Structure 1
Amino acid sequence: MCRSNFIAVPFEECRYCTSTGARAAGGEAVSREHALEIWRAAVDAVRPQPLVRAAVESDPMIRAARRVLVVGAGKAGPGMAAGLEAALADRLDRVEGLVNVPAGLTAPLRRVRLHAGRPQGVNEPTAEGVAGAEEMLRLLAGAGPDDVAVCLLSGGGSALLPAPVENVSLADKLAVTKLLHRSGATIDEMNCVRKHLSRLKGGRLAQAFRGARLVSLIISDVVGDPLDVIGSGPTAPDPTTFADALDVLTRYGLRDATPASVLHHLEAGRGGLSPETPKQAPPSVENRVLGSNRIALDAARHRAAALGYRVLDLGAFVEGETREVATAVAGVVRSIWRDAEPLGPPACVLLGGETTVALGGAMGKGGRNQEFVLALGVKLKSEMAGVTVLSAGTDGEDGPTDAAGAVADAATLAQVGTAEEFLRRHDAYHFFERTGGLIKTGLTGTNVMDVRIVLMR
């Protein structure tokens, strides 16, 4: 089983895991390796350390600051913090702060402390995350008038920056988040609710700052890169309201199941008894997106073209229910195979973004990427001959599993005759565990949503 980690091991050594299945032979094996190579190129393009280093080195105000306070959270936190330290290597005595990251990514740096805010593979807020978030609030509130703050924000930041409002427990906030996730709510809708239950999100972290200038350097994990949604927008103004948050709960029929403390706080806010999230950022706050799904897809497109494929890039704005997206992509594949429209083989179809999975009553094991690969395979069935499909999270995680995603071709589907049953149960992980299609990289050190690759030879 492949267990290499992007931070510790050269990324090109990662491969898909064979489990109990056999590797494909001939052209299918080449296509799988090509798909993995294209995906690796996408991830390499959004590595956080060089992106942050270049941004800080080109900012004279950060470099000249009397003191630089560093806060933030996310799966790319270690690389981002290392990039900042590298840019300020000649003046590190002026730097202090902490960044909340998943456990296992806390190798010590010289000045920025990496704080374990949650376990790996469990994208949920914890008491340890709360402790780190509260320390960040204290650090920014104690800034001097000449201090500059840098917020390092990346995918997974929302779960790593928990600071529930008074009278709402962490358990109650987590409960409503789970309700929304299971109901298929979009990330925008979930963040709307979470921001109104937080002392830090929705621009409140920036509100706590008392220094001269705050710069947020951002690796985006959200479709369209909206500043108010990435990490629930701790340094960005929030256009949503308490009323909007209540409307989300109503839309999904969740009000009766929502903890009483959450409803009470949201109702109080709608009635003007609790202050709204800030609707305008002060001029001292700047937000910059350094890495995004679009940048990753551009790199994937260039790699696929270099390998000899004609490329159809469907863009970074792909969202919706995973199986519905797979159905739409199946139509594109048929059009290429049968009509050579809008291009003919050898072809590479790319799409990014992030989909959701509405579990309903079925609770198998898997993630949106594994489910996409299985759903597309089931939809195409015998038409999978000559087709290889890969879908994986650029962070190395896919749902509550140890896989980044999966890769499949016709040989994969032939190994297990009950693919439809696995899909019905939302149990893609166990299907690909049997067939050898799981992709296991460990945490990659970045996070710009998903990259999906369909090759036709």
Structure 2
Amino acid sequence: MERIAGNMPGNESILAHQSPNSFKRKTKANKEEGLEPREAAIPGSRVDAVGLSAAEVAVIPIENKNTSRNCEICIGAPRKCTPGGRPSGLRGIGVPEGRRYREATVFFGEGHRSRSLVRDANRLHYNDRVYSLKNNAYIVAFGKAAASMVEGAEEVLGDDLVAGIASVPIGTVVNPSLKSRFLEGARHNLPDETALQSTRRIVEFLEGVKQDEKNIVVVLISGGGSALLPLPIDGVSLEEKLATIKALTSRGFDIKQLNVVRQKLSKVKGGKLAQIAAPCQVLGVIMSDIVGDPVSLIASGPTVLQESTSFPEIDFSVLPESVSRALQNPEVVPTVSSSNANNSIVCNNRIALDAAAEFFRSRGYTVEIATATLEGDASERADLMRDTVVGMAEKRKHVVLFGGETTVRFPEGAQCGKGGRNQELALATLRNLALEKKLPSRFAFMSAGTDGHDGPTDAAGALFGAEDVQEAGRSLQEMSKHLDAKNSYAFWSEFQCGKCHLKPGLTGTNVMDLQIVLAKRTKKVGIVGKYGTRYGASLRKMVKKMEVTQHSKYTCVFCGKESMKRTCVGIWKCSKCNKCVAGGAYVYSTTAAATVRSTIRQGPIMDDDIPTLPADTLTILNEFRKQQEDFLTGKVPEKVPEDWQLSQFWYSEETTARLAKECVEALGEEGGQLACISCPTLIAELVKAEAVQNSKVKVVLFEFDDRFGAKYPDLFHRYDYRNPHAVEEKFRAHFDLIIADPPFLSDECLVKTSQTIRILSKSEKTKILVCTGAIMEEMAKRLLNASRTRFEPKHANNLANDFACFANYETSTL
């Protein structure tokens, strides 16, 4: 069944022009199954992937969903990376110890500065040709960048656009103000039944366009189009075609060879889509995801003349019989003899690399673009990456960029795991570097797909730094095992607790892959970190640069052994020579930072020097020890304190009482299922209610903070607002009343929370309460049909923002 999701106006600015803290995460692939294509999901942020309107750009930020540590590639100003988290305070690259967050901001390049489609009054200019516009324009789009390309095209065509249709990946976010219709399909970037249905509707759409030479069909093509536009020839099923592609991929066929085969087996590829649109004028606007930009092979060339019936050497014995027969019978796969399309490349990997280079240069790095045509086996190309890292040992601030698309060759007959070319390349590079003895003290390596997905996985690739290489040195056998089994996804999911796994979700573009090698050398003074990172001589300054865990170790500056260990806040002691050093550290789980004046200014510390701590520092130390003891013993505090890093601001007692009463009364005498989204303090009041105690009202708390999991283990369900589709199946279409308090006052946060609410709602009659900023009134009405009530939620700390309560029903107490 088709599902029309709630939408919001396209008020998102181009990401390249946003402030550093305005990053928005992309929606993860929808978990819902179905044979019919469905409308695209609620929009969050978008990316203008090609210059279809005013100098739009394809600068795509990837922000890792793993919220555990800071990234060694942290470009420009500090950026937050946890829900509500403050900036880490590091610029450039660093290796902070202790409680760390990982974020990756990857710039994939700019689109053309001039418009790809240029309108002049009633004329449309494209690729040196001019077309007359008079209510005669149509749009057909398919690929991972289709949503953003359609948006740009509609802006140019304006009122002369009659209609449009697009086949997009599951989870794509779109602007609801667009005329075009969006259909989702191709889970894990593989053709499926929903994509097949979408293709049939595209064909029906083109057949319904009046056959007139004055009509214009703008076909927007981007990477992933092959999977999103499957329509096999007669006699070949979709399953047989999919089995063919899988068999050829496992034998190392690159995308060019695969697309030649796809053309032979398709009713719409190899120029056949343009034939269906004839005699209309066809404009092929193409974003390249293939090395060398061969127009005829991008998305298997649906608007490009098929030049030849030849195809690569194939062992037909490994293919389904119907496919083998079709490929060897030219009559079954006729060559397209003519094409009425005007095709042009508007964005590619080289443009992305140039933009990334310019970005790094603006921040003081020297930049080298090694190649935009990286191909070959991913594991073999890891040798090149290792040599690049080793060769940067003496570079001060230097970046080397690679672009292209490698392949993964599967061992014949072996049972293979899960992964992709970027995860494979990163894993092989990590193993190679772990075997090296001399590496830069501060460096980072990243390999990622610009579309946000690497192979049939939800990861874009992987990212690691110097400290991760040290850790990997203990796992050489494990790395080799996963490489041999082609199971790179499993390795990155487990390694460092998944902190190096990049999972940004769909980015809205696709210009192949990007590898970044970045190194930064600093002054050799002060304490030397375990992984070679060097800090300034002043330990007080060090406090501002890093956080220290209980188990951090450092190289002793006196005996040279890796034996300097923190014994308490601000004190390090060498277990070999017994020297002590006093410094600074952030206190665990407190907002205060304890700093201790260094016991040394210059020269060594004497053995009999006993550092002393000021009284205020001792107070904080005792607080830290108590909190640590509670943490280690699993003791749950009676009242969970607010954590500003999670944007937590607790309700006042009056507010929790009013909201709890409303929830219980709204469910009536019969009771029902109640979901609390991101409002944990309400639970303390709800569990006191008689209806909850006698199980008439059953409550589930959807919350990010694991502290409430310890406090309410039977009610708690871990929930990240950025990933609404990760809700367990048993909770889908389950709740009679849902109350939510989105953690941030942002369009994106309310949109994602609204998605979650729709997933959890039992029916259209599900009652909804939302407590958020008064400025979100218009969006609450549009997304949830929720109107503002008279009740104004109050917070214990009297926040300055005006808050309001919204409901989609007539409340009895609010």
Aligned to 2:275: 207
Equivalence map 1:177-216=2 (5 Å): 177-216=245-284
1:404 positional shift: 1.2
Aligned to 1:240: 308
Equivalence map 1:41-440=2 (5 Å): 41-42=107-108, 45-46=110-111, 54-57=116-119, 59-60=124-125, 61=130, 64-89=133-158, 91-92=159-160, 94-105=161-172, 107=174, 108-119=176-187, 122-141=188-207, 142-145=209-212, 146-241=214-309, 244-245=310-311, 247-250=312-315, 255-269=316-330, 273-274=331-332, 276-278=334-336, 281-282=338-339, 284-337=340-393, 344-360=395-411, 361=414, 363-381=416-434, 382=436, 383-384=438-439, 385-416=441-472, 417-418=474-475, 419-433=479-493, 434-435=495-496, 436-440=499-503
Q: 1:263 to 1:112 in 2, by over 3 A?
A: same
1:14 positional shift: 5.2
Moved more, 199-208 or 107-116: 107-116
Moved more, 78-87 or 11-20: 11-20
> Where does structure 2 lack aligned partners over 5 or more consecutive residues?
1-22, 28-42, 48-59, 73-87, 521-814
SS in 2 for 1:151: strand
- Partners in 1 of 2:429 and 2:279 — Cα distance? 51
Q: 1:234 to 1:335 in 2, by over 3 A?
A: same
Aligned to 1:8: 44
SS in 1 for 2:168: strand
CA offsets 1:332-380 (integer angstroms, 9 cap, x no match)? 333343xx6xxx4422110001001112225233221122122112112
Q: 1:111 to 1:18 in 2, by over 3 A?
A: closer
- Partners in 1 of 2:95 and 2:363 — Cα distance? 15
Higher helix share: 1
Judge conservation of contact 2:135–2:162 (CA < 8 Å) in 1: no
1:186 positional shift: 0.7
- Partners in 2 of 1:210 and 1:401 — Cα distance? 38
- Partners in 2 of 1:10 and 1:176 — Cα distance? 34
Cα root mean square deviation, aligned: 2.9
Judge conservation of contact 1:105–1:114 (CA < 8 Å) in 2: no
User: Which amino acid counterpart does residue 75 of structure 1 have in structure 2?
Assistant: K
1:228 positional shift: 0.7
User: Which amino acid counterpart does residue 426 of structure 2 have in structure 1?
Assistant: V
TM-score by length of 1: 0.85
1:74 positional shift: 0.3
- Partners in 2 of 1:238 and 1:219 — Cα distance? 19
CA offsets 1:86-141 (integer angstroms, 9 cap, x no match)? 2223x15x42131111122264453211111323xx11112222222223233334
Q: 1:67 to 1:52 in 2, by over 3 A?
A: farther
SS in 2 for 1:317: strand
| Greater relative contact order (CA < 8 Å, ≥ 6 in sequence) | 1
User: Which amino acid counterpart does residue 192 of structure 2 have in structure 1?
Assistant: T
- Identical-residue share of aligned pairs (%): 33
Q: 1:105 to 1:4 in 2, by over 3 A?
A: same
User: Quick check: which has more Rg, 1 or 2?
Assistant: 2
1:291 positional shift: 1.1
Q: 1:214 to 1:69 in 2, by over 3 A?
A: same
User: Which amino acid counterpart does residue 135 of structure 1 have in structure 2?
Assistant: R
Q: 1:133 to 1:55 in 2, by over 3 A?
A: same
- Partners in 2 of 1:17 and 1:103 — Cα distance? 18
> Where does structure 1 lack aligned partners over 5 or more consecutive residues?
none
User: Which amino acid counterpart does residue 286 of structure 1 have in structure 2?
Assistant: N
TM-score by length of 2: 0.49
1:33 positional shift: 10
1:209 positional shift: 1.8
SS in 1 for 2:510: coil
User: Which amino acid counterpart does residue 223 of structure 1 have in structure 2?
Assistant: V
- Partners in 2 of 1:274 and 1:13 — Cα distance? 45
